[in-house]
Amino acid sequence: MIMNGKYISRIEIKAMWGRKHIVWNLRPDVNILSGVNGAGKSTILNLVADRLDEIADGGAANGPEQNVSFVFEPEGADTINYDVIRSIDRPLMHSNLLEKMADKNVVTELDWQIYRLQRRYLDYQVNIGNRTIQYLTSGSPDMIARAAELARPKQLFLDLIDTLFADSGKKIIRDSNDLVFDRFGYTLLPYNLSSGEKQLLVVLLTALVQDNQPGVILMDEPEVSLDIEWQQQLIQRIIEINPNVQIILTTHSPAVIMNGWMDYVTDVAEITVEG
């Protein structure tokens, strides 16, 4: 889906829980929402994600009847490219999905996210291949130089995953168009990974298939199942793969905001008006 906005500059939620009014002015790069348990972090993110889904399905972006409204940049845009990442690897509860699922390895919500991302990953590779051919056959030195750059994000993604999974002996099989792993000579599907590995794969693969385009990634407590080292690297790794992404996340973990992200944190209390 082609969206005409680049990022969200403002979120407004009326009467959350019937009494809280939320106004959150966002940065174009990284936005981290913190707060005590029960403050409403996950509720805010879920309301935002649900409202973006409504807009993507043809609903109006704003209006007096909308409890959740946005300002997109550039001003005047009424849609945006976005992805929502769910972190909990609980059993897939949608029985209709399970019945229709051709791949019986898909049994949890993270599996379902990986399944959908695998299809986007194939499309991404086809698009990169077509653009590479176009640039190389253009005859323009500038375009030929750009062709070499097209492969860089995918190579970075593959190298990052191999590095991060090295302690468990897993490596991506490079000559496969699908994402499959080798571990000591045995082939593993991504559904065979641990919960933390699946989660990290979903986050970094989402950034990759956005194809360096402006867009938004929303994540609710992405530190779940990730070890401390992965938590510390998470934000920077996403930005390395897609420098144009806007990150909006909630967290309880000090490790996520280490390495220079303290100034990007907003407490729920700072954006809440009672009444």
The 3-state secondary structure of the chain reads CCCCECEEEEEEEEEECCCEEEEEECCCCEEEEECCCCCCHHHHHHHHHHHHHHHHCCCCCCCCCCCEEEEEECCCCCCECEEEECCCCCECCCHHHHHHCCCCCCCEHHHHHHHHHHHHHHHHHHHHHHHHHHHHCCCCHHHHHHHHHHCHHHHHHHHHHHHHCHHHCEEECCCCCCCCEEECCEEECHHHCCHHHHHHHHHHHHHHHCCCCCEEEEEECCCCCCCHHHHHHHHHHHHHHCCCEEEEEECCCHHHHCCCCHHHEEEHHHHEEEC
Q: Do residues 122 and 177 make contact, with C-beta atoms less than 8 angstroms apart?
A: yes
**What would the mean pLDDT of 120-134 be, rounded to a whole number?**
95
Distance CA 120, CA 216 (A): 16
Task: Report strand pairing: 215-220 vs 245-250.
Answer: parallel
pTM for this prediction: 0.92
Tokens of 34: 């913190």
CA distances to 23, 91, 182 from 165, rounded to whole Å, are 39, 24, 11
Distances (CA, A) of 193 to 60, 165, 187, 227: 40, 10, 11, 15
C-alpha to C-alpha distance for 194 and 88, rounded to whole angstroms: 12
Residue 171 has pLDDT above 50, yes or no: yes
Residues forming beta bridges with residue 80, ordered by sequence position: 5
- Render pLDDT for 196-244 as a digit per residue (tens, 0 to 9): 999 999 999 999 999 999 999 999 999 988 999 999 999 999 999 999 9
Question: Given pLDDT bands bounded at 50, 70 and 90, which one contains residue 101?
Answer: low
**pLDDT score recorded for residue 46:** 93
Predicted confidence band at 103 (pLDDT cuts at 50, 70, 90)? low
Identify the bridge partners of residue 69 per DSSP, sorted by sequence position. 12
Q: Is the pLDDT assigned to residue 91 strictly greater than 90?
A: no
Q: For 17-29, write each residue's pLDDT tens digit.
A: 888 899 999 999 9
pLDDT of residue 190: 95
More confident residue, 61 or 108: 108
- Residues 145/132, Cβ–Cβ less than 8 Å: no
Q: What percentage of the chain reaches a pLDDT higher than 90?
A: 68
If you average pLDDT over residues 242-255, what whole number do you get? 94
pLDDT value for 219: 95
